[in-house]
């Protein structure tokens, strides 16, 4: 029985000893504690940070680093990062002690930056949005937060993450500054009075193909942006696609699908106008997307109300057989276009097809 009592007593004493040694930095003076102006430090090697402890009414503070190769601390709480790693700064006032964790790393200097719009060329329409992409050199550089500015926020507004919103025609310089490094690009917004786009801009360039939905003909209404021989919307979908895009002035156009899949119920003498902006002058191959059960259709592509390119469907080679089955018919015409604004009319001589879109690809000077 005595042996059992002895074992229990020893275990109890050991437990008490373990509890007393759990954290030597716990407040050992009841009702007292100390605070430091920063709970932890993330530093670059060579940086200096001033720590301040309070309250001072309890006496003088002592400071100590647990690893002087990572960080040192002076008697007034000045911490200097010496090498990469992690350590603790211990501040004590009497028996009260706390730790301030310190993490130090070697700073990777920033050499340069590049910025570019997420689309090229950087030409937009009012209401568009875009993003300026920032790239650091080197990619892992320890750089400050970028600062973005626009020389004309009424044309293009840029936010803190490089997102652009376009409001009116004009140009604006977008600048990004990271530390002492600064780069600028220019964006252009084409005025909606000169470029009556629906879901524009339609920019033709060397950078890639430009695809324009047939349903994205210009704004302006009957006789200006299109001509339809029937004043009613034969699709029965109440112009949902054009209405959703803000156009309430195209009552007669037969746009199928609220996603603007195609223009149907085409008739001879009907037409649609598409305004484009040519960034790189040269020759452009034109492809037409169509559903054509027969090859009896033929259209004209009229550029700037003068140059006419006749496109007979008989040269397409094969029909799609179904009104709802579409195919791209490639290289049906070649347009020679100068830099700047152009208007292209899709004029239907013989219908017998639904049209889905036009595609323009730069092929040379």
Query: What is the tens place of the pLDDT at every residue in 104-162?
Result: 999 999 999 999 999 999 999 999 999 999 999 999 999 999 999 999 999 999 999 99
In the Cβ-directed half-sphere of 51, how many Cα atoms lie within 13 Å?
34
- Per-residue pLDDT band for 6 (boundaries 50, 70, 90) equals very low
* pLDDT tens-digit map of 282-334: 999 999 999 999 889 999 999 999 989 999 998 888 888 889 999 999 999 99
pLDDT over 70 at 27, yes or no:
no
Q: How many angstroms separate the CA atoms of 52 and 76, rounded?
A: 8
Q: Other C-beta atoms within 10 Å of 261: how many?
A: 20
Q: What are phi and psi of 293, to 5 degrees?
A: -60, -25
Cis upstream peptide for 121 (omega within 30°): yes
**Three-state DSSP string of the chain:** CHHHHHHHHHHHHHHHHHHHCCCCCCCCCCCCCCEECCCCEEEECCCEEECCEECHHHCCCEEEECCCCCEEECCCCEEEECCCEEEEEEEEECCEEEEEEEEEECCCCCCEEEEEECCCCCEECCCCEEEEEEEEECCCCCCCCCEEEECCCCCEEECCCCEEEECCCEEEEEEEEECCEEEEEEEEECCCCCCCCCCCCCEEECCECEEEEHHHCCCCCECCCEECCCCCCCCCCCCHHHHHCCCCCCCCCCEECCCCCEECCCCCCCEEEEEEEECCCEEEEEEEEEECCCCCCEEEEEECCCEEEEEEHHHCCCCCCCCCCCEEEEEEEEEEECCEEEEEEEEEEECCCEEEEEEEEEEEC
Chain segment 188-226, per-residue pLDDT in tens: 999 999 999 999 999 999 999 999 999 999 999 999 999
- Say yes or no to pLDDT of 184 above 80: yes
Grade residue 29 by pLDDT with cuts at 50, 70 and 90.
Answer: low
38 has a pLDDT exceeding 50:
yes
CB-facing half-sphere around the CA of 207: CA atoms within 13 A? 14
pLDDT at position 31, please? Answer: 56
* 19: confidence class by pLDDT, cuts 50, 70, 90: very low
The pLDDT value recorded for residue 33 is 86
Rounded average pLDDT over 224-232 = 91
Burial of 234 (0-12, 13-18, 19+ CB in 10 A): middle
């Amino acid at each position: 029985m005595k042996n059992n009592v002895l074992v229990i007593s020893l275990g109890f004493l050991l437990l008490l000893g373990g509890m007393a040694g759990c954290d030597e930095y716990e407040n050992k003076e009841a009702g007292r504690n100390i605070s430091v102006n920063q709970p932890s430090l993330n530093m670059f090697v060579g940086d200096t940070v001033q720590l301040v402890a309070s309250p001072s009414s309890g006496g003088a503070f002592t400071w100590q680093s647990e690893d002087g190769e990572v960080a040192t601390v002076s008697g007034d709480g000045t911490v200097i990062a010496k090498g990469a790693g992690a350590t603790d700064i211990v501040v004590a006032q009497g028996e009260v002690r706390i730790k301030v964790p310190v993490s130090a790393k070697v700073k990777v200097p920033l050499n340069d930056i590049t910025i570019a719009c997420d689309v090229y060329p950087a030409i937009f329409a009012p209401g568009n949005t875009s993003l300026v992409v920032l790239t650091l050199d080197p990619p892992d550089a320890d750089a400050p937060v970028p600062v973005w500015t626009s020389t004309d926020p009424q044309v293009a507004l840029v936010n803190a993450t490089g997102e652009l919103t376009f409001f009116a025609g004009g140009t604006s310089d977008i600048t990004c500054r990271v530390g002492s490094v600064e780069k600028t690009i220019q964006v252009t917004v084409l005025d909606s009075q000169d470029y009556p786009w629906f879901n524009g801009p339609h920019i033709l360039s060397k950078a890639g193909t430009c695809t324009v939905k047939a349903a994205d003909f210009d704004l302006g209404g009957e006789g200006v942006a299109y001509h339809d021989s029937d004043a009613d919307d034969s699709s029965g979908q109440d112009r949902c696609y054009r209405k959703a895009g803000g156009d309430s002035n195209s009552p007669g156009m037969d746009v199928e699908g609220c996603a603007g899949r195609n223009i149907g119920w085409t008739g001879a003498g009907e037409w649609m106008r598409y305004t484009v902006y040519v960034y790189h002058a040269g020759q452009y191959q034109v492809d037409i997307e169509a559903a054509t059960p027969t090859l009896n259709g033929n259209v004209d592509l009229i550029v700037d109300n003068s140059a006419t390119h006749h496109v007979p469907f008989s040269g397409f080679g094969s029909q799609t057989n179904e009104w709802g089955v579409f195919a791209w018919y490639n290289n049906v015409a070649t347009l020679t276009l100068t830099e700047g604004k152009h208007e292209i009319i899709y004029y239907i001589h013989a219908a017998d097809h639904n049209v889905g879109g036009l595609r323009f690809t730069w092929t040379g000077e």
